[in-house]
Structure 1
Amino acid sequence: MVTTAKAVGDLFDQVERKPDLLVDADLTVERDGVAFSVRGYDDLVAVDLPSFGAALTLWRDRPVEGRDAAAALTVAGLTAEIRVRGAPVARLGADAVPSSLAKRLGLGPIELFLDGTLLALTPRRG
């Protein structure tokens, strides 16, 4: 019988009873006409978006709040890294080291990479 989690707390309870997860994925996902890649390397899931605007749209339209996603990933032993054009801009989950800037901005336990953000915002040449 398959059970469905009715709340984030129920999901946490289900995940806590499982051993750490390992992810092996190589996907291309399209949402609202924007394609991005999702790659899993054991306990790291990298989401690489084509632009900073696409990353912001994905963040605004996320189905789960950042704090809840970070907590669920941590409980599962996973880390998600958000990249824009290959440059890491944020990390949440088990291996994230929450930044004081993210806390001040109300983003919760998320590690921000300012150097990656600057690279993502820099126009490419040729």
Structure 2
Amino acid sequence: MVTTTKAVGDLFDLIERKPDLLVDADLTVERDGVAFTVRGYDDLVAVDLPSFGAAFALFRDRPVEGADAAVALAAAGLTAEIRVRGAPVARLGADAVPSPLAKRLGFGPIQLFLDGVLLAITPRRG
């Protein structure tokens, strides 16, 4: 049986030998009855979730630790931006600048956007 650490390490080795990836995607994904979008713009992959509840559920059930995902994305030349209701709340990968708050919270090399969090939780007028 292959351990997760070995499999992730092998993935990093494989990615480091390849040129940077470019992503072109426009998907709607449904998970546990919640739909969200994934859009790729060259080296940026934007994941837009409808609520913080959906974002926390996705984070809680992630198949790879946040630090491992950030390193794998950076090695591939990609950046993932997590958005809630269209507002960017976090970024990881090549263009992420780890924020002190993310480090304090133990999220690792993830950039958090407090202004995006505030926009995402603010009720929208009609």
Q: Which residue number corresponds to residue 34 of structure 1?
A: 34
**Structure 1 residue runs of 4 or more that deviate by more than 6 Å after TM superposition:** none
**Pairs aligned (count):** 122
Amino acid at match of 2:25: A
Q: Match for residue 52 of structure 1?
A: 52
Equivalences for 1:1-126 in 2 at 5 Å? 7-126=7-126
Q: Please tell me the residue identity of whatever aligns with 2:34.
A: V
2:8 partner letter: V
Identity rate, percent: 88
Deviation at 1:43, TM superposition (A): 0.1
The whole-number CA distance in structure 1 between the counterparts of 2:19 and 2:104 is 33
User: Which consecutive unaligned segments of at least 5 residues does structure 2 have?
Assistant: none
Secondary structure of 1:118 counterpart: helix
> RMSD over aligned Cα, in angstroms?
1.1
The TM-score, its normalising length taken from structure 2, stands at 0.94
Q: Which one-letter code corresponds to 1:20 in the other structure?
A: D
| Alignment TM-score, normalising by the size of structure 1 | 0.94
Q: Kindly provide the amino acid, as one letter, of the partner of residue 38 in structure 2.
A: V
| SS of structure 1 residue aligned to 2:95 | coil
Letter in 1 for 2:86: G
Cα deviation, residue 124, structure 1: 1.6
What are structure 1's unaligned runs of at least 5 residues?
Answer: none
Describe the SS at the equivalent of 1:10: helix
Q: Measure, in 1, the Cα distance between the counterparts of 2:64 and 2:123.
A: 31
Question: Structure 1: how far apart are the matches of 2:103 and 2:18?
Answer: 29
User: How far apart, in 1, do the equivalents of 2:6 and 2:36 lie?
Assistant: 29
- CA drift of 1:6 comes to 5.2
**Structure 1 residue identity aligned to 2:33:** G
Distance between the aligned counterparts of 1:75 and 1:100, measured in 2? 22
Q: Any idea what the Cα deviations from partners look like across 1:16-58, whole Å, max 9, x if unmatched?
A: 1110000000000000000000000000000000011111111
Q: Hey, what's the Cα distance between the residues in 2 that align with 1:20 and 1:96?
A: 16
- Distance (Å, rounded) in 1 between the aligned partners of 2:116 and 2:94: 20
